[in-house]
């Protein structure tokens, strides 16, 4: 079983923009049940199906599989809950971790969030100057919840 250990933060300012180029992601949810989410994601010409378990603290089980692009496009169009999440993702290495900054579009425009995957829940983490408030334990910021209640409605 794979395990994801992740912390989430809001992002301050624009200094991070000079550190990476963004890649457009489109993702939708086939299930947003809190005990198991099922996500379809497209980036460039690659598609994945991801199943995630219940979040406990900052950890949860995660399984990810490549799927055919045409299947992913059909799932996003016909099966996924709406709205589809669209965002640019920027990957910025700092020390021994890679920060993933998501700049959301559409109904979630204006939200910029950084995520970092850790090796253990107690891993010491250096926070770059552009990292703001931690939102790891605020379910409003989970991508699957941004489908149900987009940032623009807060």
Q: Which domains does the chain have, with CATH numbers?
A: 3-153 (2.40.320.10)
**How confident is the model over 8-27, as a mean pLDDT?**
96
pLDDT over threshold 60, residue 94: yes
Catalytic annotation, residues: 29
**Among the listed residues 35, 7, 28, the one whose alpha carbon sits nearest the alpha carbon of residue 147:** 28
pLDDT over threshold 80, residue 1: no
Instruction: Report pLDDT for 151.
Output: 96
H or E segment to which residue 143 belongs:
helix 143-148
Is the pTM above the cut of 0.85? Answer: yes
In 10 A of CB 94, how many CB atoms?
16
Does residue 153 contact residue 145 with C-beta atoms inside 8 Å?
Answer: no
Instruction: Report pLDDT for 97.
Output: 95
Instruction: Report pLDDT for 3.
Output: 87
Instruction: Report pLDDT for 34.
Output: 85
pLDDT over threshold 60, residue 22: yes
**Which runs of E-coded beta strand occur in the chain?**
3-11, 23-33, 36-43, 46-53, 59-66, 85-94, 97-104, 112-117, 131-134
What is the percent of the chain with per-residue pLDDT over 70, rounded to a whole number? 99
Instruction: Report pLDDT for 55.
Output: 87
Instruction: Report pLDDT for 2.
Output: 86
pLDDT over threshold 90, residue 105: yes
Q: What is the pLDDT of residues 48-78, one digit of tens each?
A: 999 999 988 889 999 999 999 999 999 999 9
**How confident is the model over 131-144, as a mean pLDDT?**
96
Whole-number Å distance between alpha carbons of 98 and 90: 10
């Amino acid at each position: 079983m794979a395990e994801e250990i992740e912390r989430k933060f809001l992002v301050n300012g624009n200094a991070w923009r000079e550190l990476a180029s963004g890649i457009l992601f489109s993702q939708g949810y086939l299930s947003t049940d809190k005990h198991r989410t099922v996500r379809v994601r497209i980036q460039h010409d690659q598609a994945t199906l991801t199943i995630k378990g219940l979040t406990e603290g900052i950890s949860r089980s995660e399984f990810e599989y490549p799927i055919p692009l045409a299947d992913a496009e059909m799932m996003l169009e016909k099966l996924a809950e709406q709205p589809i999440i669209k965002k640019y993702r920027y990957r910025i290495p700092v020390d021994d971790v890679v920060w993933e900054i998501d700049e959301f579009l559409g109904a979630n425009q204006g939200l910029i969030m950084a995520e970092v995957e850790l090796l253990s829940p107690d891993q010491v983490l250096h926070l770059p100057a552009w990292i703001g408030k931690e939102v790891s334990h605020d379910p409003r910021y989970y991508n699957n919840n941004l489908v149900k209640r987009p940032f623009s409605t807060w």
